[in-house]
C-alpha cells in the first residue's frame, strides 16, 4: 500500500518517500509512503484556515452526521483496518481490531456531543443587560500523534476537534502511515469543505517541527515523549498557541498483602506486557508488600514466561514484536542498565527468533529494584517491569508517588479503607482499584499529572476545554419605542 498526503481535499505525492516494513516480518514491505514538503504543509495550513469557518457555519446537524458516519464506518471495518494496524505496528490482531472499533466509538460519542454543546445565560449586575456565554471553535488544530495507537489516539483528538467546529492538520508517526491513510480515507469520503482535514505525513523533526512552530495554527494536541513535548511547548509559547500534551509515564501498581493474589498477577502481567509494554498506561513499577512478595513474584514470572510471543497476525500470539529496531535496541540497553544498577533479572529481556525475522523480545521481570534506579525513573516503553518490595501500604504509596510522572496508578487490595485512601492520595490522573493500570473508557477524561501531561484534559465532555474558546456576549436590549 503506497500512501499519499491528503491536502486541501486532494491526494498528493510528497517530496520524498520512505519504506514501511512489518515489524513481525521484515521481508514484508507494506509499501512506501509520502513525506510532505514545507510548501505542502503551507498549503494544508492555508486550506484549513479557509475551510474552518465554512464547517462551523454548516451547523450542528451536519457535524453530527459526518462524525456519526466516520464512527460507524470505522466500527464496521474494524477487522480489516485492525489487520493493517497489526501488520504495521505489531500488536496482535485482536488488539488491532479492538483499537479501530474504539476509534469508531470516539467519533460516535462526539457526534452526540455536538448536539449537547450548550452555553450559559447570566444576568448582568447592571440592569437592562443580558449576558450569554458560548463556546466557539478554537480554529485550526495541529495534531501530532505517536505510533503505539495509530488509529485510536488520533481519533480521540480528531473527533472532538471536528465536533466543536475546528479544522485539522494531522502529522501522524512516521512508523504507522498506512493506518493514518486508512483513517484519512474515511474522513475524506465525507461531504466536508476541502481543506477541513489534512494529512501531512513526514518526519517529526522536519514536518512535525514546522507544523508546531507555525503561527497559522491556533492549538496543538500532542501525544508522545517528554523531550519532544518540551520542544513543542516552547514552540507553542513563542506563538501563544494553545497546547495540550500527553506524554510519558512510570505507572505504579501497589500489590497489597490482602489482595486476591491470582487476580493481582493477571492484572499486573496484562498491564505490564500487553501491547509489548508499549502503552503509556503500562504497569512498570510493581510495589509489592513484603508478606506476599515471593509468592507474587513466582507467579508473575510464570505468567510472563507463559505468554506466546510471535507474529502479530498469527493465531495464538499474545505479544507481538517491538515496533522498530531502534526501540528494540533501546529495550535491550535498559536490560543492561538494570543489571548494572544491581537489579535481578528473573526472566526475559532477550531477543527471540521466530520463523520470520522480526523485532521479538521476551517479557522481562526485574526484581530487587529500588525506586532510585534508572529503570524505575525513566519510561522504557518496553515489555519490562520492575518489582519493588514495601513493608507497609504507607511505604508503598510513598514509593508510588515518588516519580516525575503521574498518568495512571493501581492498587490491588480487598481493604476498602486502603482503596479509598489510595484514590485520594495517589498523585495521578487516573487511579485504578483492583484493575490493571491500562484499559480506559472513551467517554470520561484521560490524562495525568507532572511530566505525564500538560494543558487541558482529553476525552469525554472535558475535551471542550481544549477544542473550544469561550465568548462572553453582553447585550443591552434598550427600551421599546
Ligand atoms: P515521539 O518521538 O515523541 O513522537 C511522537 C510524535 O511526535 C510522532 O508523530 C513524531 O514524529 C513527532 N515528533 C517527533 N519529533 C518532533 C518534533 N521535533 N516536533 C514535532 N513533532 C515531532 O514519541 P513516539 O516515539 O512516537 O512514541 C513513544 C512515546 O510516546 C513514549 O514516550 C510514550 O509514553 C508516549 N506516549 C504517551 C501517551 C499518552 O497518552 N500519555 C500515549 C502514547 C504514547 P516521528 O514519528 O516522525 O518521530
Ligand atoms: Mg519517535
Ligand 1 mutation pick, 150, 151, 202, 224, max ligand atoms within 8 A of CB:
224
Output 481 or 405, whichever has higher pLDDT: 405
Residue 395 bears catalytic tag: no
What's the pLDDT score for residue 50? 98
pLDDT beyond 80 at 2: no
Ligand 1 mutation pick, 88, 211, 228, 247, max ligand atoms within 8 A of CB:
228
Q: How confident is the model at residue 32 (pLDDT cuts 50, 70, 90)?
A: very high
State which ligand 1 atom lies nearest to the alpha carbon of 407: 41
The DSSP-derived string for 159-224 is HHHHHTT-EEEEE--TT-HHHHHHHHHHHHTSS--TTSEEE--S-IIIIIHHHHH-TT-SEEEEES
Rounded to an integer, what distance in angstroms lies between the CA atom of residue 36 and that of residue 18?
Answer: 11
pLDDT beyond 80 at 79: yes
Q: What lines the ligand 1 site, CB under 6 Å?
A: 144-148, 171-175, 203-205, 208-209, 212, 223-225, 228, 231-232, 246-249, 280, 379, 381, 407, 452
CA of 8 to the centre of ligand 1 (A): 25
Of 259, 280, 386, 430, catalytic: 280
Nearest-CA residue for atom 34 of ligand 1: 248
Nearest-CA residue for atom 4 of ligand 1: 224
Query: 5 vs 11, 37, 215, 220, 447, CA distance in Å?
Result: 6, 10, 22, 20, 30
Ligand 1 mutation pick, 106, 204, 211, max ligand atoms within 8 A of CB:
204
- Of 3.40.30.10, 1.20.120.160, 3.10.20.30, 3.40.309.10, the CATH number of 251-433 is 3.40.309.10
Q: How confident is the model at residue 1 (pLDDT cuts 50, 70, 90)?
A: confident
Of 206, 246, 257, 379, catalytic: 246
Averaged pLDDT, 429-442: 97
Averaged pLDDT, 349-359: 98
pLDDT beyond 90 at 479: no
Residue 246 bears catalytic tag: yes
Rounded to an integer, what distance in angstroms lies between the CA atom of residue 120 and that of residue 404?
Answer: 38
Averaged pLDDT, 84-99: 98
What's the pLDDT score for residue 477? 80
Residues of the chain with pLDDT > 70, as a percent, come to: 100
pLDDT averaged over every residue in the chain = 97
C-alpha cell of 222?
500532542
Averaged pLDDT, 297-308: 98
CA of 99 to the centre of ligand 1 (A): 18
CA of 228 to the centre of ligand 2 (A): 8
Domain 5-247+452-473 is in which class?
A: alpha beta
CA of 445 to the centre of ligand 2 (A): 25
pLDDT beyond 90 at 291: yes
440: left (phi over 0), alpha (psi -120 to 50) or beta: beta
Tens-digit pLDDT profile for residues 178-199: 999 999 999 999 999 999 999 9
CA of 118 to the centre of ligand 2 (A): 39
CA of 393 to the centre of ligand 1 (A): 35
Ligand lying closest to the C-alpha of residue 452: 1
pLDDT beyond 90 at 481: no
- Around Cβ 348, how many Cβ atoms within 10 Å? 22
Where in the sequence of the chain do the CATH 3.40.605.10 domains occur?
Answer: 5-247+452-473
On whether the pTM is more than 0.95, the answer is yes
Rounded to an integer, what distance in angstroms lies between the CA atom of residue 259 and that of residue 415?
Answer: 8
State which ligand 1 atom lies nearest to the alpha carbon of 174: 46
Where in the sequence of the chain do the CATH 3.40.309.10 domains occur?
Answer: 251-433
Ligand lying closest to the C-alpha of residue 451: 1
Nearest-CA residue for atom 15 of ligand 1: 204
Averaged pLDDT, 284-303: 98
Tens-digit pLDDT profile for residues 139-153: 999 999 999 999 999
Averaged pLDDT, 255-277: 98
Tens-digit pLDDT profile for residues 200-249: 999 999 999 999 999 999 999 999 999 999 999 999 999 999 999 999 99
Nearest-CA residue for atom 32 of ligand 1: 225
What's the pLDDT score for residue 136? 98
CA of 325 to the centre of ligand 2 (A): 12
State which ligand 1 atom lies nearest to the alpha carbon of 246: 41
Amino acid at each position: 500500500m503506497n500512501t499519499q498526503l491528503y491536502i486541501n481535499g486532494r491526494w498528493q505525492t510528497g517530496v520524498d518517500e520512505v519504506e514501511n516494513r512489518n515489524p513481525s516480518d521484515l521481508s514484508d514491505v507494506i509499501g512506501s509512503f509520502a513525506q510532505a514538503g514545507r510548501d505542502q504543509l503551507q498549503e494544508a495550513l492555508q486550506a484549513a484556515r479557509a475551510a474552518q469557518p465554512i464547517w462551523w457555519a454548516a451547523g450542528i446537524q451536519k457535524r453530527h452526521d459526518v462524525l456519526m458516519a466516520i464512527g460507524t464506518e470505522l466500527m464496521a471495518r474494524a477487522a480489516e483496518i485492525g489487520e493493517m494496524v497489526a501488520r504495521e505496528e505489531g500488536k496482535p490482531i485482536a488488539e488491532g481490531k479492538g483499537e479501530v472499533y474504539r476509534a469508531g466509538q470516539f467519533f460516535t460519542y462526539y457526534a452526540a456531543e455536538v448536539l449537547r454543546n450548550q452555553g450559559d445565560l447570566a444576568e448582568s449586575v447592571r440592569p437592562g443587560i443580558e449576558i450569554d456565554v458560548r463556546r466557539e471553535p478554537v480554529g485550526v488544530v495541529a495534531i501530532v500523534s505517536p505510533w503505539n495507537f495509530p488509529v485510536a489516539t488520533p481519533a480521540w483528538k480528531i473527533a472532538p476537534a471536528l465536533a466543536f467546529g475546528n479544522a485539522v492538520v494531522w502529522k501522524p508517526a512516521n512508523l504507522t502511515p498506512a493506518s493514518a491513510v486508512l483513517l484519512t480515507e474515511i474522513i475524506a469520503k465525507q461531504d466536508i469543505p476541502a481543506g477541513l482535514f489534512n494529512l501531512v505525513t513526514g518526519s517529526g523533526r522536519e514536518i512535525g517541527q514546522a507544523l508546531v512552530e507555525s503561527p497559522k495554527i491556533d492549538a496543538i494536541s500532542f501525544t508522545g515523549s517528554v523531550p519532544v513535548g518540551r520542544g513543542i511547548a516552547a514552540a507553542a509559547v513563542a506563538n501563544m498557541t494553545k497546547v495540550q500534551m500527553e506524554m510519558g509515564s512510570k505507572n505504579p501498581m501497589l500489590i497489597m498483602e490482602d489482595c486476591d493474589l491470582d487476580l493481582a498477577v493477571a492484572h499486573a502481567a496484562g498491564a505490564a506486557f500487553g501491547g509489548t509494554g508499549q502503552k503509556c498506561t503500562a504497569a512498570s513499577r510493581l510495589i509489592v508488600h513484603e508478606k506476599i512478595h515471593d509468592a507474587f513474584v513466582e507467579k508473575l514470572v510464570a505468567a510472563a514466561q507463559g505468554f506466546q510471543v510471535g507474529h502479530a497476525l498469527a493465531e495464538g500470539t499474545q505479544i507481538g514484536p517491538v515496533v522498530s529496531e531502534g526501540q528494540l535496541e533501546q529495550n535491550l540497553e535498559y536490560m543492561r542498565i538494570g543489571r548494572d544498577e544491581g537489579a535481578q533479572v528473573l526472566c526475559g529481556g532477550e531477543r527471540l527468533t521466530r520463523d520470520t525475522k522480526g523485532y521479538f523480545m521476551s517479557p522481562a521481570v526485574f526484581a530487587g529494584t529500588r525506586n532510585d534506579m534508572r529503570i524505575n525513573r525513566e519510561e522504557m516503553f518496553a515489555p519490562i517491569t520492575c518489582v519493588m518490595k514495601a513493608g507497609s501500604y504507607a511505604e508503598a504509596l510513598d514509593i508510588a508517588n515518588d516519580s516525575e510522572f503521574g498518568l495512571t496508578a493501581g492498587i490491588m487490595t480487598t481493604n476498602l479503607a486502603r482503596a479509598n485512601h489510595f484514590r485520594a492520595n495517589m498523585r495521578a490522573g487516573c487511579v485504578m482499584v483492583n484493575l490493571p493500570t491500562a484499559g480506559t473508557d472513551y467517554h470520561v477524561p484521560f490524562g495525568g499529572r507532572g511530566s505525564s501531561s500538560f494543558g487541558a484534559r482529553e476525552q469525554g465532555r472535558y475535551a471542550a476545554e481544549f477544542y473550544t474558546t469561550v465568548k462572553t456576549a453582553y447585550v443591552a436590549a434598550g427600551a421599546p419605542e
